Every structure is written in structure tokens, then in C-alpha cells.
Chains A and B, each alone.
Chain A
Amino acid sequence: MNVRRLVLFVPLVVVVGLGAFLYQRLDDDPYARDSALLSRPFPEFSLSTLGDPQARLDASLLKGQVSLVNVWGEWCPTCKHEMPQLLDLASRDVHMVGVDYKDTRAKGRQFLEEFGNPFSVNLFDPDGTLGFDLGVYGAPETFLVDAEGVIRYHHTGYIRPEDVRDVILPTLERIAKPAAGAAGEEASS
């Protein structure tokens, strides 16, 4: 077969290649996003806590130790299913910060009474301003923040028990080591 004949197969190869590429992307989760906040400092805020309307906390809360920040709300059914995983993490000595997002104090408190409180502190964000700066578009969403206050991992949606084991705990361990992973960027899920 001469070269001219072979050229006729080029379109076939291109079409098959394109088909394979597109077919493989069919399985992608359409809700998966790259987080815009990875490797960026946790946004500034000034919020009260769920327990104390007079309190004023800011982003320095997240400096000095690795923290897990979980955005939740009483109105969010998935958050209820996520609580056992968060309680499990809290029992492993993780610094847990809750953000009660677009909620009322009464409902937020009632939620924690009913489903348990894994958080050492709960920021109260009734207008969703901190949530907006975090790029939160629903709840639950979870951020892992290193001791410098830099966001190192962003989990959108429900944390399954296997996510705790396979993703959250290994990531916490990695970012707890100072400077070791500072150059690496984590993929969000």
C-alpha cells in the first residue's frame, strides 16, 4: 500500500481518537470543580460565634495549627449524614471549625444538640458572606487549612466514611509537616 492510500486513514484515526477521548470524559462528575482557593490564604472575616453574639473572631483563628473548616447549616440534609464522620475526625484531635452558613442561631444550636457538635468553635455566618468569599455554593463543603492559614484542600459536598480514611486523614497528615508539601498543590474533589 502506498503512502497516498495511508493518508486516507487519517480522518478515521482522528475520529476514533476523538471518540475515545470524549467517551472517557462521559464518566466525569459534572459537579466536580477545581477550587479557586487552593494554595491561597483563608479569606479575611469578622464574625460572631453561634454561642456568643458578642464575640468577634477573625482569620487568625486558623493560624498556628492545622484546621478543618466545615460549612454547614440546619437546612442542609446532607450535613446531618456527614456529622458522624466529623465526630470521628474530632475524636482524632483535629482542630475543627464549623461555619453555620445562612442559618438562624436557634436552628443551628438545635441542630448541634440533635446531631452532636464536633466543632471546637462555630462561626455564625447568617448572610453567607464568609461562605461567598470561600466560593461555597452549597453545603456541606470542607476546607483543610494549614498552620499558616493557607487553604490546602477543598472538598465539595458529602464526606463519606471512606473519604475520611482515604483523603482527609492522609491530607491532614501531609500538611501537618511544615514546609514539606508547601510547593505541591492538591486536587479538589
Chain B
Amino acid sequence: MKSVLRSFAIPLVQALVVLLFLAWLAAGKAQAAIEVHQFNNPVLQKRYDSLTAALRCPKCQNQAIGDSDSPIAGDMRQNVADLLKDGRSDSEIQNFMVARFGEYVLYNPRLDGRTWLLWGGPAALILIGLMIVTLIVRARRRARVRALDDDEQARLSALLATHREVSRDAKERS
């Protein structure tokens, strides 16, 4: 039993070590392509990180400028760093990028005439869904508690009478 365990466990551990090593190599390579901007102020560093994570690289299909090694993403990171050191606010920096590269660069599009459906759509759909569910539940509850009216009562009695007759006939035959 012990030897069986060992014969499986050892190659598994070896494979894991190799995989981890490869992952570490790949991570190092990915990082090597993107320069590091150092800030004396940890708040600036944090703002830099969140800005570069939320600005989209115009050259790439779907990458933040903080993740991309394309030259334009590098230029944009440099500009973000310079503007931060210059004391500009986050929204000023976003406006600066939008003025050059368009709304496309914002991963969180602003609420305006073109994007209201994007922002309001999910909430509107949830509201519509809630309304429909409420209507259905109400209709069912009303149907359950409402007493039968005269016509319905008469129809029910007639049905019950026929049913009684039919079952009596069946019993007599058997």
C-alpha cells in the first residue's frame, strides 16, 4: 500500500514543482515587459494602480493599460504617472485620456445619453421581472380565495351530480 502511494505521490509532486517553476518564469517574463512607476506616496501608488487597471489600452482588444506591453499603453502609463505627480485628480486624468482616445478607454463608461441603457438596463429588467412576478402571485392568490359565483356554483353542482350518477351506475354493474 505504502509503495503504491509513493509511486503516485512522488511524480505528482515533481510535476507540481515543474509547473510552479514554469508559472514563476512566465510571471517574471510578463512583468519584465511593463516598467514600474515608483511613488513616494502610497496613496499615489494606489491611485496609479487603480487608474491603470481601469483605463483600457486603445491598441489592444481587451486589456487595461496596466496589463499591456504595447507602446501606446506604456505612453499612457507614463502620462498617468506624470499627471498624478502633477497633483491632478482621477477624473482630470480620465478626461485627459478621453479627450485623446475617446470614451473607449474607460472600462467603466460614464452615464450619459449613449450609455443610460447600459447602466439602467439591468435595474429596469429586474424591476420588470419583479412586477411580472408580483402580478402573477396576486392573480393566483385572488383566484384561490374568491368564492364561486352563482353560475360557477350551478355548474359545479351539475358536474358533481353527473359524477355521482356515473359512479353509481358503475357500482351497480359490478
Q: Which B residue's beta carbon lies closest to that of A37?
A: B100
Q: A30-B61, A33-B58 are in contact. Are A135 and B71 (CB under 8 A)?
A: no
Q: How many residues of A contact B (CB 8 A)?
A: 15
List chain A residues, Cβ under 8 A from B75: 128, 132
Q: Is the CB of A36 within 8 A of B100?
A: yes
Q: Is the CB of A34 within 8 A of B104?
A: yes
Q: Is the CB of B72 within 8 A of A36?
A: no
Q: Is the CB of B102 within 8 A of A35?
A: yes
Q: Is the CB of A137 within 8 A of B58?
A: yes
- Distance from B97 Cβ to chain A, minimum over Cβ atoms (Å): 9
Q: How large is the interface on B (under 10, 10 to 19, 20 to 34, 35 or more residues)?
A: 10 to 19
Alpha-carbon distance between A134 and B104 when the two chains are bound, in angstroms: 15
Q: Is the CB of A137 within 8 A of B104?
A: no
Q: Is the CB of A137 within 8 A of B59?
A: yes
Beta-carbon contacts under 8 Å, A23-43 to B: 30, 33-37
- Distance from A100 Cβ to chain B, minimum over Cβ atoms (Å): 15
Q: Is the CB of B101 within 8 A of A135?
A: yes
Alpha-carbon distance between A136 and B79 when the two chains are bound, in angstroms: 14
List chain A residues, Cβ under 8 A from B59: 137-138
Alpha-carbon distance between A136 and B75 when the two chains are bound, in angstroms: 11
Alpha-carbon distance between A37 and B59 when the two chains are bound, in angstroms: 17
Say if the beta carbon of A152 comes within 8 Å of chain B. no
What 0/1 readout, one digit per residue, does chain A (132-148) give for beta carbons within 8 Å of chain B? 11111110000000000
Beta-carbon contacts under 8 Å, A102-148 to B: 102, 128, 132-138
- Distance from A78 Cβ to chain B, minimum over Cβ atoms (Å): 14
Q: Which A residue's beta carbon lies closest to that of B59?
A: A137
Q: Which B residue's beta carbon lies closest to that of A75?
A: B71
Q: Is the CB of B100 within 8 A of A134?
A: yes
Q: Which A residue's beta carbon lies closest to that of B72?
A: A137
List chain A residues, Cβ under 8 A from B103: 34, 36
Instruction: Name the residue among B61, B70, B99 with the largest chain A CB count within 10 angstroms.
Output: B99
Instruction: Name the residue among B70, B101, B104 with the largest chain A CB count within 10 angstroms.
Output: B101
Q: Which A residue's beta carbon lies closest to that of B70?
A: A137
Q: Which B residue's beta carbon lies closest to that of A133?
A: B100
Alpha-carbon distance between A138 and B59 when the two chains are bound, in angstroms: 7
- Distance from B2 Cβ to chain A, minimum over Cβ atoms (Å): 57
Say if the beta carbon of B98 comes within 8 Å of chain A. yes
- Distance from A81 Cβ to chain B, minimum over Cβ atoms (Å): 19
List chain B residues, Cβ under 8 A from A34: 102-104
Q: A30-B61, A33-B58, A132-B79 are in contact. Are A138 and B100 (CB under 8 A)?
A: no
Q: A132-B75, A137-B72, A138-B72 are in contact. Are A36 and B101 (CB under 8 A)?
A: yes
Q: Which B residue's beta carbon lies closest to that of A128?
A: B75
Beta-carbon contacts under 8 Å, A4-38 to B: 30, 33-37
Q: Is the CB of A36 within 8 A of B98?
A: yes
Q: Is the CB of A33 within 8 A of B79?
A: no
Q: A33-B104, A128-B75, A137-B72 given. 13 additional CB < 8 A pairs?
A: A30-B61, A33-B101, A34-B102, A36-B101, A36-B102, A36-B103, A128-B71, A132-B75, A134-B100, A135-B101, A136-B72, A137-B59, A137-B101
10 contacts between A and B (CB under 8 A): A33-B104, A35-B102, A36-B98, A36-B103, A128-B71, A132-B75, A132-B100, A135-B100, A135-B102, A138-B59
Q: Top 3 nearest A-B pairs by Cβ distance?
A: A36-B102, A135-B100, A137-B58
